[in-house]
Chains A and B, each alone.
Chain A
Amino acid sequence: MENKGQMNSQEATMQGLIGRYLRMRSAVSRDASANTPHLDNDSLAAFTEGNLSELEARPMISHLVDCSFCRHVTAELIRLDLAFADNPVISRAAETSEPSRVSAVLNGLLSKIFGTSDGAVFAHNEKDEEADKPEDPDADDSKDK
């Protein structure tokens, strides 16, 4: 591990012991955690951001101690959070698209995934003439990426 700071030799031994013990314990208890109800996206995200109070977080912390799956997801989300904190993403400038074209993007995705573009799902505020317009630049972006 990274350093031993001011630990005495017995504490350093304990660091090695507890580390080994926890890895072995995690390996032998993995199957049990697969059957427990997992934390939902909302709870995981709020916990990872440190937004929960101690009272709210208490049951989640207990769950994370026992559930290797949720703990692993949480660890991955922490890494991801840090990775993107170091490299902030700039939002697209709001310059080109018209709001009404978003439905075209969604319909494009729907047809790609389900092989249909009948607009049955994204039916709100749809206009027939949308289909005759050139394809939206955003939709092109999404396909090229």
Chain B
Amino acid sequence: MSTEAKTSDDLTNESRAMIDDMFARCTENAPNFAVTQDCFKTSLLKTIDKYLAAASAEQPASADVNQFLEQIQADDLFLALACANGNERAWWEFDQQHRSYLERVARHLAKTEVDAQEVIDTVYVELYGTRVVDGERVSKFSTYSGRGSLRGWLRTVIWHSLVDLHRASHDEVSLDELTENVGEGMAHASFAEAAPGGEDEMIDHIAKERYRKATVAAIESAFASLDDHEKLLLLFYHVENLKLREIARLVENEGSPLRGWFQRKSQTRNENPAGRIHESTIMRWLEKSYARVLQLFRAELAETGKLTREEIEICMSLATQDLAGNNLFRNLSTT
């Protein structure tokens, strides 16, 4: 196909040999799945295109492609391709290996047993595929690339299916509200703040508002100046309410992109690059981010706001007081 023609030519002999080896191993492990070498190769080339080639304007280097291929969950991909093709043996294997897992995930997420069972049924039908395009059945399995584990992908499919189920019965609810009604997000859905309290009569109202505006502008600017990795860590912690333990899980994989970025910024990589990431490490990353925001915040107030050192301290003091109430960010949408 066109995707294959576009990238196949760019593969080195070594990469092609790797794909051949992967296919041989998969066929040996599952000789009855009837996946052709062409089908397997086409899928891998699509995945290289999607993840590797799309991430950079330049053609991926041979070493990058080879490393990428090494990370593919080949047996999972082989099973998914066989299921997408409707192979009976593969479906049997899939059912044996993953059905109880799917059921547990669905029960964990759904509010009722009926919802859980409905989602399982729907997911099975989606995985097989009921839509026919150009005479061919389109199975959801064909969207699995092998870049992550099949179970990780199945969790995502179940989660989305539950959101769709909820959506179908709550037409008037927004997408964000829906996502908060599935899983643990329900417990953390508190964003809007209450109305502001009374003004402090001891400080001049105009000056106070000026410092508040400068403080908000400086926070916005400081946050905007952070790298996306730092921003995401802060958002996971403060907005999504992920616990340190949960963030540690996200970066547990030694090759995790967030882990790589933060370790490069600290000295721990050289000391213990493959060590386990503990909650205390995540807290240290957060503390470094707070320190950096503070530094940027003060610089912004001094340079852009033209505030003196004493005025910056007033801003900090006001901010500390306002944290007890909700005065500081009440006009965030209009600043």
B301 part of interface (Cβ distance < 8 Å): no
Size band of the interface chain B makes with A:
35 or more
User: Do B185 and A72 have beta carbons less than 8 Å apart?
Assistant: yes
Q: Which residue of A lies closest to B52 (CB)?
A: A56
A143 surroundings in chain B (CB, below 8 A) = 117
User: Do B104 and A84 have beta carbons less than 8 Å apart?
Assistant: yes
User: Do A81 and B155 have beta carbons less than 8 Å apart?
Assistant: yes
Residues 37-90 (chain A) with a chain B CB within 8 angstroms: 40-59, 61-62, 64-65, 68-69, 71-85, 89-90
Size band of the interface chain A makes with B:
35 or more
B284 surroundings in chain A (CB, below 8 A) = 5
User: Do B260 and A17 have beta carbons less than 8 Å apart?
Assistant: no
Q: Which of A11, A68, A80 contacts B183 (CB 8 A)?
A: A80
Q: Which residue of B lies closest to A40 (CB)?
A: B143
Q: How near does chain A come to B163, taking the closest CB pair, in angstroms?
A: 8
User: Do A52 and B240 have beta carbons less than 8 Å apart?
Assistant: no
User: Do A51 and B255 have beta carbons less than 8 Å apart?
Assistant: yes
Which of B8-16, B164-172, B203-211, B245-253 sits within the interface?
A: B245-253
Residues 113-132 (chain B) with a chain A CB within 8 angstroms: 113, 116-117, 120-122, 124-125, 128-130
Q: How near does chain B come to A91, taking the closest CB pair, in angstroms?
A: 5
B150-163 vs A: 1/0 string, CB under 8 Å? 00110111011000
Given contacts A2-B283, A5-B284, A84-B104, contact A22 B223 (CB under 8 A): yes
* Complex alpha-carbon distance, A44 and B149, angstroms: 11
User: Do A53 and B255 have beta carbons less than 8 Å apart?
Assistant: yes
Q: Which of A18, A27, A56 contacts B293 (CB 8 A)?
A: A18
Which of B23-31, B85-93, B267-275, B303-311 sits within the interface?
A: B85-93
Q: Which of A26, A78, A102 contacts B91 (CB 8 A)?
A: A102
B137 part of interface (Cβ distance < 8 Å): yes
User: Do B147 and A51 have beta carbons less than 8 Å apart?
Assistant: yes
User: Do A65 and B235 have beta carbons less than 8 Å apart?
Assistant: yes
B144 surroundings in chain A (CB, below 8 A) = 41-42
User: Do B294 and A48 have beta carbons less than 8 Å apart?
Assistant: no
User: Do B157 and A99 have beta carbons less than 8 Å apart?
Assistant: no
A86-98 vs B: 1/0 string, CB under 8 Å? 0001111110011
Q: Which of B148, B159, B293, B316 has its CB near the most chain A CB atoms (within 10 A)?
A: B148
User: Do B294 and A10 have beta carbons less than 8 Å apart?
Assistant: yes
* Complex alpha-carbon distance, A58 and B329, angstroms: 30
Q: How near does chain B come to A47, taking the closest CB pair, in angstroms?
A: 8
User: Do A42 and B147 have beta carbons less than 8 Å apart?
Assistant: yes
B283 surroundings in chain A (CB, below 8 A) = 2-3, 5
A45 surroundings in chain B (CB, below 8 A) = 147-149, 152-153, 155-156
User: Do A99 and B89 have beta carbons less than 8 Å apart?
Assistant: yes
* Complex alpha-carbon distance, A42 and B144, angstroms: 6
B109 surroundings in chain A (CB, below 8 A) = 80
Given contacts A14-B297, A18-B234, A83-B108, contact A49 B180 (CB under 8 A): no
Given contacts A45-B149, A78-B246, contact A99 B88 (CB under 8 A): yes
Q: Which of B116, B193, B239, B245 has its CB near the most chain A CB atoms (within 10 A)?
A: B239
User: Do A20 and B329 have beta carbons less than 8 Å apart?
Assistant: yes
A145 surroundings in chain B (CB, below 8 A) = 103, 113, 116-117, 120
Given contacts A5-B287, A13-B323, A41-B143, contact A21 B95 (CB under 8 A): no
Which residues in A have some Cβ–Cβ distance to B below 8 Å? 1-3, 5-7, 10-28, 30-31, 34, 40-59, 61-62, 64-65, 68-69, 71-85, 89-94, 97-103, 105-106, 109-110, 112-114, 121-122, 124-125, 138, 142-143, 145
* Closest CB pairs A-B (n = 10): A50-B253, A50-B256, A57-B257, A46-B148, A75-B240, A27-B191, A99-B92, A19-B238, A45-B152, A46-B147
20 pairs across A/B with beta carbons < 8 Å?
A6-B287, A11-B290, A13-B323, A14-B290, A18-B234, A41-B153, A42-B153, A45-B149, A46-B147, A52-B257, A55-B55, A61-B229, A69-B176, A72-B240, A79-B246, A80-B109, A81-B152, A89-B101, A94-B93, A106-B128
